[in-house]
Amino acid sequence: MVTRVVPGRNTDAAPAVDVPPGDRNPGMGVEDRVEALTRQILATVARVLASEAGRGLVTQLAGESGTLDDREQWLVALQRLIMTAIGTVALETERGYRGARARCTCGRTGRYVRDDPKRYVTLVGEVEIRRAEYWCPACGAWRPLDAQWDLPEGHFTRNVVRLAAMVGSALPFSRAAEVLQELGGIGMSPSQVRIVCERVGEAIGEDQAATTEQALQGAVVPPEPPEVLVIGMDGAHLNTREEGWRETKVGVAARYEWREGERGWELRPVAAAYTALLGPPEPFGRMVYALAQQQGGRGRQCTLVLGDGAPWIWNQAAEHFPDAVQVLDYYHLAEHVFATARELFGEGDTTGRDWAETVLELLREEEIETALEYLKRTGEGTAKLREYIEANRRRMPYRWLRARGYPMGSGIVESACKQIVHMRHRQAGMRWCLKNAQRMLNLRCYIRSDSWDRFWATRPKVA
């Protein structure tokens, strides 16, 4: 039995207790309050178990029929009944009552008017919170508890919003709503999930702009640099309503450290942070700079910038990471070589595959002249590839990288594009308006970075 929680209506909630104006537990010490709440919680559990719904579930659990699956469902239902009731009782300990008269923030005196109850969808179910309401002749109605408890403006708590944004960033909104209901008993419509994602994505954009500005002004103290800092930049395309296919720039900064693995010591990514922008290279470059600062700013041994051949990447690399080693991402290089092989020899041809392997082998060994010669001998069809290699020849220190165990295009850039853009934005037939596409990018980047917890610790106004 899973009851859907509808804002403003809840059949599971414990009946409201009438609390007269005045402190609920006036003058009680902490220990007395703990004692009192403990007794209330125990009494609440007893009351839920004695209620019709609770009794029914316990009867089923005590009975002989029913599989483990059934019992699990009954337990979840019972858990939700109990938690919602306990939540209501536990959140009644305070209502922000300051006496019959209280001072408003404007300095004037306001008078107590009434208790204003409001329902909130929380992680433990829907609960009602009673807030003492005052009237100030200058400012109107105000409720001290709103500020004291940092209560959300809407009906969903910040924790619920955080969870919904996380699920909504991974799944289409209608699926996300189903998962939230199934997993947490949280009643949210698909359009509510969408609105939540948009608000959180917007707030992350603001947070990102602020942290980028701080990093550019040198106000960020970077953490201890990693052994090797790898910075990757790439472009991915997504379909927008306004302008059709548009390039999203995706950046990653990854900390690499030596770790002992099955094949001995290996340099491995131990942490990574992402950023993405549907926009021009310059602001994106600044965002990547800030991202790199958050990951140590540089590597103790070396800093690498990986990218495909796009000139804007190397311009930004030169601007923000002048001391870094620029590396043409091997993954992208191989893609180009194999694409040329298909053009020359046809799809799935083994001659083509052997040819591509020979070219790549030469390039991995830094035999660039030999590789260019070989391509020239192959014929005119290799002109574009030769141009690409010529343009990037000083970015192919593959032998040097391998000798030191450094990555030469581990796919970290490619997988960033997949994780940030393709998996959510490029599902069948999906078209995004530019603004919301960017908000979703922000969301997905933060969730995959260590910025997610830091962002929520700032208590953003998103609920």
Q: Which is nearer to Zn ion, 45 or 104 (CB)?
A: 104
Complete DSSP assignment for 273-285: EEEEESS-HHHHH
C-alpha to C-alpha distance for 325 and 400, rounded to whole angstroms: 11
Interface stretch with Zn ion, choices 3-11, 98-106, 153-161, 280-288 (CB under 5 A): 98-106
- Least Å from the CB of residue 100 to Zn ion: 16
Minimum CB distance to Zn ion, residue 463 (Å): 25
Strand pairing class (228-240; 302-307): parallel
Q: How far is the CB of 151 from Zn ion (least distance, A)?
A: 19
Minimum gap (Å) between residue 136 Cβ and Zn ion: 3
Among 106, 183, 339, 430, binds Zn ion (CB under 5 A): 106
Stretch that binds Zn ion, among 45-53, 83-91, 106-114, 315-323 (CB under 5 A): 106-114
User: What does the per-residue mask of binding to Zn ion show for 353-372, with x meaning CB under 5 A?
Assistant: --------------------
Q: Which residue number, 108 or 431, has a Cβ lying nearer to Zn ion? A: 108
Supply φ then ψ for residue 447, to 5 degrees.
-60, -35
For Zn ion, which is the closer residue by CB, 30 or 138? 138
Nearest to Zn ion of 46, 139 (CB atom): 139
Smaller CB separation from Zn ion, 139 or 391 = 139
Half-sphere exposure of 176 (CA within 13 A, CB side): 25
- The residue (of 111 and 431) whose beta carbon lies closer to Zn ion is 111
Pick between residue 134 and residue 355 the one whose CB is nearest to Zn ion: 134
Q: Which stretch binds Zn ion (CB under 5 A): 4-12, 47-55, 97-105, 217-225?
A: 97-105
Q: Decide: is 28 part of the binding site for Zn ion (CB under 5 A).
A: no
* Those residues with Cβ within 8 angstroms of residue 285's Cβ, 6 or more apart along the chain or in another chain: 315, 316, 319, 320
Q: Which is nearer to Zn ion, 136 or 230 (CB)?
A: 136
CB of 139 to Zn ion, least distance (A): 3
What does R_g of the chain's alpha carbons equal in angstroms? 30
Please say whether the beta carbons of 304 and 269 come within 8 A: no
Q: Which residues contact 217 (CB under 8 A, 6 or more apart)?
A: none
Among 100-108, 302-310, 320-328, 334-342, which window interacts with Zn ion (CB under 5 A)? 100-108
Residue among 195, 37, 6 at smallest CA distance from 119: 6
Q: Minimum CB separation from Zn ion for residue 114, in Å? A: 17
The answer to whether 441 contacts Zn ion (rule: CB under 5 A) is: no
- Amino acid sitting at position 399: R
Q: Which is nearer to Zn ion, 39 or 103 (CB)?
A: 103
The total number of residues written for the chain in this structure: 463
- CB 115 → Zn ion: shortest distance, Å? 20
Strand order in the sheet with 125-136: 101-103, 109-122, 125-136, 140-142
- The one-letter amino acid code at 339 reads A
Q: Min. distance of Cβ 20 from Zn ion in angstroms?
A: 26
CB of 434 to Zn ion, least distance (A): 42
User: Does 104 interact with Zn ion (rule: CB under 5 A)?
Assistant: yes
Q: How far is the CB of 97 from Zn ion (least distance, A)?
A: 17
Cβ contact 422:440 at 8 Å: no
Q: Are 306 and 231 in contact (CB under 8 A)?
A: yes
> In the range 116-145, which residues lie near Zn ion by CB under 5 A?
136, 138-139
Nearer to Zn ion, 102 or 344 (CB): 102
Q: CA angle, corner 274, sides to 416 and 430, nearest 5?
A: 60
- CA distances 281 to 208, 317, 329, Å, are 16, 11, 18
Residue range at the interface with Zn ion (CB under 5 A); choices 2-10, 17-25, 102-110, 414-422 = 102-110
Closest approach of Cβ 101 to Zn ion, in Å? 12
Q: How many CB atoms lie within 10 A of CB 52?
A: 7
- How does DSSP classify residue 141? E
Our CA dihedral for 121, 178, 439, 296, rounded to 10 degrees, sits at 90
**Shortest distance, position 98 Cβ to Zn ion, whole Å:** 13
Residue number with CB closer to Zn ion (144 or 168)? 144
Distance CA 76, CA 74 (A): 5
For 259, counting Cβ atoms within 10 Å of its Cβ (0-12 exposed, 13-18 middle, 19+ buried), the class is: exposed
Number of residues that bind Zn ion (CB under 5 A): 6
End-to-end CA distance of the chain: 29
CB nearer to Zn ion: pick between 101 and 300: 101
Residues that bind Zn ion (CB under 5 A): 104, 106, 108, 136, 138-139
